Chain A
Amino acid sequence: MTDDVLLAAHGLVRNFGRHQALCGIDLTLRRGEVLGFLGLNGAGKSTALQILAGALARHGGEITICGHDLERAPRAARAALGFLPQVPPLYDDMLVDEYLALCGRLHGLAGGALATALARARQRAGLGDCGNRLIRHLSQGFRQRTGIAQAILHDPPVVLLDEPTAALDPAQIRDVRELIRDLGRQHAVLVSTHILPEVRLLANRVMILHQGHIVHDAPVGAALGPVRIRFAHEPARAALIAIAGVHQAQRLDDGAWLLDIDQRLTSAETIASSAVAAGWGVRELIADYDALEYLFMRLTAGGSA
């Protein structure tokens, strides 16, 4: 498995004055993996991505991209990376094709290889026949697509995308998600986003960053999940936690309970049976409660950083 690790970061630290934006985070990304990077505004997602891309200095830690240390072999490491920042890095006074050609040349492409890469990236990013348009005249959606095209132009093994579907219309979002899925088959993709359903649809692993710390790193749909239940006769919290497989019980404002369960040990049906057997009665039970949203809200309950 170690051979498949395309991106490895250990102990990343970044400070802005007295504020510590990243507090020693570790991260690995394997070939064929799409990692969903979640966090509240100000959690440090964009900072982490910029540091991984070598666009922002770090104050501690190490980064290896495709076996190349970003510090000792920066050119080789950067060549193996495609990066779309939150705001696409575009020269407004250039034509789309000129700009993409510049990006290709910066990564060592030339001649026929550049022309082929340019045509493929334009097609994959859905730029159509925009090649001769001035970037200043592009809509927000097409600016985002141009940004995506520059990130994948040189077919990098590792692709970092910071909110890739921002400013896109629904049809464009569908196309970009398809592109990310496609990239994820051969490459390692890290997608930073606020959109939880996007992570569910695209990622096979999710990482939640909160106040500069990684507070969750597990496959999407991991064993731990919540059940929302409302009883006819409310039991004590201790009685709920006493049910095998129930890790936590949280009473909501509307009187319902959220039970954090280990799905390997119990299920919603078992809990319903236990509740009926104990005489609590069940008025409402949602077994497929949004686990990711629940997890995200629970882990980031401390507010924004």
Chain B
Amino acid sequence: MSGARAIAVSEVRRQFRRPLTWFVLAVGEGAMAVFYMLLVIRYLEHQAALRGAGVTAEILTPYFISANLSILLAAPLISMASIAGDRENGLLRFLYSAPLSACGIVVGKLVGVMSLAGAYAALIALIPLTLFWGAPVDTGVYAANLLGFGLFTLMHVCLGVLASALMRTPLAAALLSLAIGLGLWLVDWASRLDPQATLVGTWSTLGRLRGFAQGLINSADIVYFAASSALCIGLACVALATERKAT
């Protein structure tokens, strides 16, 4: 896997050299910081009316739900150029002529994108730590939210890399991964409108996150996110291997 490691190292460096990277980081972190501040202000203003509901339920949980939504929007931007950008610039053919497997290319690119997404998610996850200074926060709920947020981030990065492996241009890749990500988020509404549609509901990322938001760690939810991530990466490997052989 030395080839994959070489790609990963160079991708990490390249990610943090792109202006788009810093733009996405700045806008995302800024938006989440403002949202966090609004949650805190609302909590302080309406503390009496909340009838004893704590900061965990009123600030932490909605904050992490929104953090997941911000990853859903940011992940397509972060991952769109990983493979489709190389394809557009003719550099994928260069990688095809190198002695490394299609999976090596995908894994190397994934590590590069994950480094940026990881930094983005870590900074977002750090913001609510300020609650620990002045309020009784449920650390179990925080840890569960953190785990759900991490798994959601991983899944959407993998989805972004898959879209990038399938599409010809970064823009098309971003639109595809955004459409799938939003679709998986919104099917939760469909299952709510129609209680019979339980099968549809099982695919909903929002539905899967609800347990983590309440501090419940369900192994089925972990398997869902992990398996979806692995499926995306597996399909990306197959897509590149097929392209290498057939085009």
A interface residue numbers (CB < 8 A to B)? 50, 53-57, 74-76, 78-79, 81, 83, 85, 87, 89-91, 93-94, 98, 102-103, 105-108, 110
Contact residues in A for B119 (Cβ distance below 8 Å)? none
Contact residues in A for B91 (Cβ distance below 8 Å)? 89-91
- 15 contacts across the A-B interface (CB closer than 8 A): A55-B96, A55-B97, A56-B247, A57-B245, A57-B246, A76-B99, A79-B99, A87-B90, A93-B18, A98-B10, A102-B6, A105-B2, A105-B6, A106-B6, A107-B98
Q: Closest approach, in angstroms, between the C-beta of A115 and any C-beta of chain B?
A: 15
> How far apart are the CA atoms of A57 and B247 in the complex, in Å?
5
Residues of B contacting A: mostly: helix
- Contact in complex: B99, A110 (CB < 8 Å): no
- Contact in complex: A89, B94 (CB < 8 Å): yes
Q: Among residues 74 to 124 in chain B, which have CB atoms less than 8 Å away from a CB atom of chain A? A: 90-91, 93-101
Contact residues in B for A76 (Cβ distance below 8 Å)? 99
- Contact in complex: B10, A102 (CB < 8 Å): yes
Is B42 interfacial (CB-CB < 8 Å)?
no
Is B192 interfacial (CB-CB < 8 Å)?
no
Q: Closest approach, in angstroms, between the C-beta of A106 and any C-beta of chain B?
A: 4
B interface residue numbers (CB < 8 A to A)? 2-3, 5-7, 9-10, 13-14, 17-18, 90-91, 93-101, 244-247
- Contact in complex: B2, A50 (CB < 8 Å): no
> How far apart are the CA atoms of A57 and B90 in the complex, in Å?
15
Contact residues in B for A106 (Cβ distance below 8 Å)? 3, 6-7, 95, 98-100
Q: Closest approach, in angstroms, between the C-beta of A26 and any C-beta of chain B?
A: 21
Q: Closest approach, in angstroms, between the C-beta of A5 and any C-beta of chain B?
A: 21
B245 closest partner in A (C-beta): A57
Q: Closest approach, in angstroms, between the C-beta of B127 and any C-beta of chain A?
A: 30
Contact residues in B for A53 (Cβ distance below 8 Å)? 97
- Contact in complex: A75, B94 (CB < 8 Å): no
Q: Closest approach, in angstroms, between the C-beta of A108 and any C-beta of chain B?
A: 6
